[in-house]
């Protein structure tokens, strides 16, 4: 009896071991099913996108919130004053404090000096005078100004955003290049202005040469004037200094000036890349 039970138990154990092997045999006749995430990736062809930056300095191309003087008024201001700050007088919220013939101090809603961010060709320029009597706009002649943008109040981060009064951006004309396959560009300009009050004289001279990839230019401006006259007598006629000449009663003393600016520029363009370098020199006694 015990022998028969041992034989039955052994047969049952052998059957349990062989049962899984028999069950797995039919599965080997079908290929394995791959999940979706394990499928090979499809390689797409590469796409190249190229474009040229458009140097649009019009008012419509300005960032939101920017004001700009009208082109016709800018032309009249250039002829009437050698001070670049005078180009801002027609913009709401902006005023100019007269501090000399070429160094007016721009003011936005009563805030001036370091409370404003003034840039010339994207450069933050510092005043050479310890009392900050020559703002950054005095380093560029009005004849060379191409565009002016004013943010009266809160400035966007794209233009600095670190000024509580506002931001003023002044830019000169971008370098020109000839079209592919076209001959080189050559040209120049000569200008002069005269103002009877103070006998102010302004002169400008410019020339440029440009190929498809190279641009060279020169700009020079000269301005000078004597003391200007007020509309009526406002003081006593007296010498400006001991032993000096007598200043008439309607003449504003120390309002005369003499200044000259010179700029030599070079630019190299290849594809969408542009390398530009300028050397500026100013003489303001």
Question: Which residue pairs, CB below 8 angstroms and at least 24 apart, start in 189-192?
Answer: 191/143
* Mean pLDDT score, 28-35: 63
CA Rg value for the chain: 38
Tell me which of 174, 205, 235 is where a domain ends. 174
Same domain, 127 and 155: yes
Residue 2 CB coordination number (10 Å) = 6
Dig out the tokens for 43 from the structure.
């390689």
The whole domain housing 224 covers 175-285
Asked whether residue 263 falls in the same domain as residue 182, the answer is: yes
Residues 154 and 205 in one domain: no
83 part of a folded domain: yes
- Give the residue from 106, 139, 174 where a domain finishes: 174
Together in a domain, 138 and 170: yes
Residue 40 lies in a domain: no
The pLDDT value recorded for residue 100 is: 80
Give the chain's largest Cα–Cα span. 150
pLDDT above 90 (res 122): no
Domain count across the chain: 2
Instruction: Calculate the average pLDDT of the chain.
Output: 82
Considering the domain boundaries, does residue 181 fall inside one?
A: yes
For residues 195 and 278, membership in a common domain is answered with yes
Give a yes or no: residue 115 inside a domain.
Answer: yes
Question: Which of 118, 148, 174 is a domain's end point?
Answer: 174
Report how far residue 157's alpha carbon sits from residue 148's, in angstroms, rounded to the nearest whole number: 18
The most confident of 116-125, 148-157, 206-215, by mean pLDDT: 206-215
Considering the domain architecture, whether residues 115 and 202 belong to the same structural domain is answered as no
Q: Is 14 inside any structural domain? A: no
Rounded mean pLDDT, 48-71: 63
Q: Which helix (H) or strand (E) holds 203?
A: strand 200-210
In DSSP terms, which residues pair with 208 in a beta bridge? 187, 217
**Residue 278 · residue 267 · CB < 8 Å:** no
119-133: average pLDDT: 85
In a domain? residue 13: no
Do 169 and 184 fall into the same domain? no
CATH number for the domain spanning 142: value is 2.170.130.10
Looking from the CA of 155 toward its CB, the CA atoms found within 13 Å total 22
Residue 60: the pLDDT is 42
Q: Please spell the DSSP secondary structure of 41-105, one letter per residue.
A: PPPPPP-----------SGGGSPTT-B---HHHHHHHHHH-S-GGGGGTTSTTEEEE--SSS--E
Instruction: Identify whether residues 156 and 194 lie together within a single domain.
Output: no
Residue 8 inside a domain? The answer is: no
Q: pLDDT digits over 140-181, tens only?
A: 988 889 899 999 888 888 887 678 899 999 999 899 999 988
Residue 180 host element (H or E): none
Instruction: Indicate if 130 and 209 belong to the same structural domain.
Output: no
Q: What is the structure's pLDDT at 143?
A: 82
Same domain, 159 and 228: no
Q: Are 74 and 62 in contact (CB under 8 A)?
A: no
The answer to whether the Cα torsion of 37, 38, 42, 43 is positive or negative is: positive
Report the distance separating Cα 123 and Cα 170, nearest Å.
10
Whether 33 maps to a domain, the answer reads no
Q: How many CB atoms lie within 10 A of CB 159?
A: 21
Distance CA 238, CA 251 (A): 11
Q: What is the pLDDT at residue 241?
A: 83
What confidence category does residue 61 fall into, taking pLDDT thresholds of 50, 70 and 90? very low
For residues 153 and 203, membership in a common domain is answered with no
Answer yes or no: do 179 and 169 share one domain: no
């Amino acid at each position: 009896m015990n022998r028969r039970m041992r034989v039955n138990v052994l047969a049952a154990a052998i059957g349990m071991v062989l049962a899984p092997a028999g069950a797995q045999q039919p599965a080997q006749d079908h290929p394995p099913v791959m999940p979706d995430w394990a499928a090979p990736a499809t390689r797409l062809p590469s796409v190249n996108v190229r474009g040229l930056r458009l140097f649009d300095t019009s008012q419509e191309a300005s960032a939101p919130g920017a004001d700009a003087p009208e082109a016709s008024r800018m032309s009249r201001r250039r002829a009437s004053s050698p001070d670049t700050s005078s180009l801002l007088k027609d913009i709401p919220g902006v005023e100019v404090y007269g501090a000399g013939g070429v160094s007016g101090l721009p003011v936005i809603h009563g805030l001036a000096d370091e409370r404003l961010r003034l840039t010339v060709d994207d450069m933050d320029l510092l005043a050479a005078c310890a009392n900050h009597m020559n703002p950054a706009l005095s380093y560029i002649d009005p004849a060379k100004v191409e565009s002016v943008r004013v943010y009266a109040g809160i400035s966007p981060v794209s233009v600095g955003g670190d000024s509580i009064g506002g931001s003023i951006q002044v830019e000169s004309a971008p370098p020109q290049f000839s079209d592919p396959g076209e001959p080189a560009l050559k040209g120049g300009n000569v200008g002069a202005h005269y103002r009877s009050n103070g006998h102010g004289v302004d002169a400008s001279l410019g020339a440029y040469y440009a190929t498809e990839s190279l641009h060279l230019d020169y700009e020079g401006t000269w301005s000078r004037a004597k003391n200007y006259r007020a509309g009526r007598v406002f003081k006593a006629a007296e010498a400006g200094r001991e032993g000096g000449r007598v200043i008439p009663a309607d003449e504003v003393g120390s309002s005369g000036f003499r200044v000259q600016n010179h700029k030599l520029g070079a630019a190299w363009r290849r594809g969408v890349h542009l390398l530009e370098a300028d050397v500026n020199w100013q003489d303001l006694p």
